[in-house]
A = this chain, B = another copy of it.
């Protein structure tokens, strides 16, 4: 009797866990064509296109999954990112960065899943970024221009937002050394596209390209994101990217 109850409890537990974390089996059982597409076309072809390195694709994918709160595949992709050479400290900084560029709740949900992967991989806590590291140096001219532009456009609308954008984002977060500015930009642009926030794209796509992202890579980021964040978000990013590319070419 006890054994039966225990078996029932374990079975219910397994099913509760399964419900919380969908598996490849679920996909095969319900949408077998999509499961095969994922293996053959997405992992077997898209991820191997030379326009973007596997490491960059991992950064873009993590950014999209975290920014959209898509936890189902996140553990798998944290593992894949580590395999592709994304460092634990970089993953930690991606999560911290997205707390500000996607939302606190996204970072919290991602940290629970990432913690379990780090534990399984026996990542040394010493590999994580320091709380208060030495900052990268700030381009004071560019930052002064940004502040002046925001003040001229929105001055006084939300003094608190102006103040914290300077203090928390551009004089702290962006200067943390464990994620390169180019990768921080890649994370930001990916999150904006994945969440359809195209109004904020021109500034950050320009910044990304100033930080070293090429036009070919940016175009491929949009193609890669179509598979994770859906075609409509990819297509809404197209006219914005086209216009940024055109302006920079002049």
Task: List A residues at the B interface (Cβ < 8 Å).
Answer: 2-3, 5-6, 9-10, 12-13, 15-23, 26-27, 29-34, 36-38, 41, 46, 49, 51, 65, 68-73, 91-93, 95-96, 99-116, 118, 125, 128-132, 153-154, 156-161, 163-165, 168-169, 176, 191-192, 195-197, 199-200, 219-220, 222-224, 226-236, 238-239, 241-242, 245
User: Given the complex, which residues of B lie within 8 Å of A9, measured CB to CB?
Assistant: 6, 9-10, 13
Q: How far is the CB of A50 from chain B (nearest CB, A)?
A: 11
**Is there an interface contact between A228 and B49, defined as CB atoms closer than 8 Å?**
no
Given contacts A20-B19, A132-B33, contact A51 B160 (CB under 8 A): yes
In the complex, A228→B107 CA distance in Å? 10
**Is there an interface contact between B22 and A108, defined as CB atoms closer than 8 Å?**
yes
In the complex, A5→B6 CA distance in Å? 8
Which residue in B113, B129, B227 is a CB contact (below 8 Å) of A19?
B113
Q: How far is the CB of A92 from chain B (nearest CB, A)?
A: 5
In the complex, A175→B100 CA distance in Å? 36
User: Given the complex, which residues of B lie within 8 Å of A200, measured CB to CB?
Assistant: 232, 235-236
Which residue in B92, B161, B238 is a CB contact (below 8 Å) of A223?
B161
User: Given the complex, which residues of B lie within 8 Å of A95, measured CB to CB?
Assistant: 30-31, 34
**Is there an interface contact between A176 and B33, defined as CB atoms closer than 8 Å?**
yes
**Is there an interface contact between A112 and B19, defined as CB atoms closer than 8 Å?**
yes
**Is there an interface contact between B49 and A229, defined as CB atoms closer than 8 Å?**
no
Q: How far is the CB of A170 from chain B (nearest CB, A)?
A: 11
User: Given the complex, which residues of B lie within 8 Å of A33, measured CB to CB?
Assistant: 96, 129-132, 176
In the complex, A233→B233 CA distance in Å? 16
User: Given the complex, which residues of B lie within 8 Å of A168, measured CB to CB?
Assistant: 37, 41
Residue of B nearest to A227 (CB): B104
Which residue in B105, B107, B232 is a CB contact (below 8 Å) of A195?
B232
In the complex, A239→B69 CA distance in Å? 27
Which residue in B161, B222, B231 is a CB contact (below 8 Å) of A234?
B161
In the complex, A51→B34 CA distance in Å? 33
User: Given the complex, which residues of B lie within 8 Å of A132, measured CB to CB?
Assistant: 33
In the complex, A52→B129 CA distance in Å? 34
Residue of B nearest to A165 (CB): B231
User: Given the complex, which residues of B lie within 8 Å of A238, measured CB to CB?
Assistant: 153-154, 157-158, 161
Residue of B nearest to A133 (CB): B33
